[in-house]
Amino acid sequence: MATIEFNNVCVDFPIYNANTRSLKKRLLQVATGGQLGADQQGRVVVRALEDLSFTFKDGDRVGLLGHNGAGKSTLLRLLGGVYEPSSGCARINGVIGSLIDISLGIDSEATGRENIYFRGGLLGMTRAEISKQIDDIIEFSELGNFVDMPMRTYSSGMHLRLAFSVSTILRPEILLMDEWLSVGDEGFKHKAEKRMTELVQVTNILVIASHSREVILDTCNRVIWLEHGRVRMDGDPESVVAAYFGG
């Protein structure tokens, strides 16, 4: 049982090296990003998310739509527990798994096998747990003997295959994704797709940020459209997608 409950959540980023606000910045703000402002002490802050209130329950497959800088990634990080809201209240119950930046923590001088341990450790597995699953991971990645070679000898496809194989081994209750993961050549892509679908099926809550209409329509049953850090629209996929992509 997993739930996510947001009540008037705001996220403000303090910017310490931008003391002067100029007209140029004012103008830029209209085009992209959140809202620049100043807090009580006169520091420059970027308001990345403003006044978000929603509840996600088991079975929700939430898609996040929005232009660059609309606050999608910040929201994902908030959901992942990286940031705590500057004001408001975010209650998140459930084991969180993140498929954002699956290559994080990979050391190219270390071997594939060592990197499986690093990556697994970062995702919260203990050494013993990884050791139990390592054969499956290696088999899935189809790296064969390459797994004992330094990662710098890998092609970028192999690199991603390894990262993918480790990162999708967990079955979290809340799954966070930034774009649908798709890796490898034709054969692998098919296998990866199958694993992703399986992963998405067993997770209680999925939150995915995407620019792709197909992904949103295929996977989600609820879509939130963010604009300048605020919820512009929140509803069923068809209507939000229609409005966002300009119908």
Which residue ranges make up the site for other proteins (CB under 8 A)? 13-14, 16, 77, 80-84, 86, 89, 96, 98, 100-101, 104-105, 107, 109-110, 114, 117-118, 121-124, 126-127
Instruction: Check: CB of residue 163 under 8 Å from CB of residue 188.
Output: no
Phi, psi of 222 (to 5 degrees): -155, 140
d(CA 203, CA 247): 31
Handedness of CA 181, 183, 189, 195 (dihedral sign): negative
Least distance CB 98 / other proteins (angstroms): 6
Smaller CB separation from other proteins, 109 or 135: 109
74 CB-near residues (< 8 Å, 6+ apart): 11, 48, 49, 83, 229
Nearer CB in complex with other proteins: 176/223:
176
Which is nearer to other proteins, 8 or 126 (by Cβ)? 126
| H or E stretch at 45 | strand 44-56
Provide the minimum distance between the beta carbon of 109 and other proteins in the complex, in angstroms, as a whole number.
5
Give the nearer residue to other proteins in terms of CB position, either 180 or 213.
Answer: 180
Q: How many whole angstroms separate alpha carbon 65 and alpha carbon 208?
A: 9
For residue 47, the minimal CB distance to other proteins (Å) is 12
CB 180 to other proteins: min, Å = 18
54/118 with CB nearer other proteins: 118
| Nearest residue to 93 via CA among 121, 123, 56 | 56
> Are 221 and 56 within 8 A, CB to CB?
no
Is 170:125 a contact under the CB 8 Å cutoff?
A: yes
CB of 124 to other proteins, least distance (A): 8
Nearest to other proteins of 174, 240 (CB atom): 174
Nearest distance from residue 15's CB to other proteins, in Å? 10
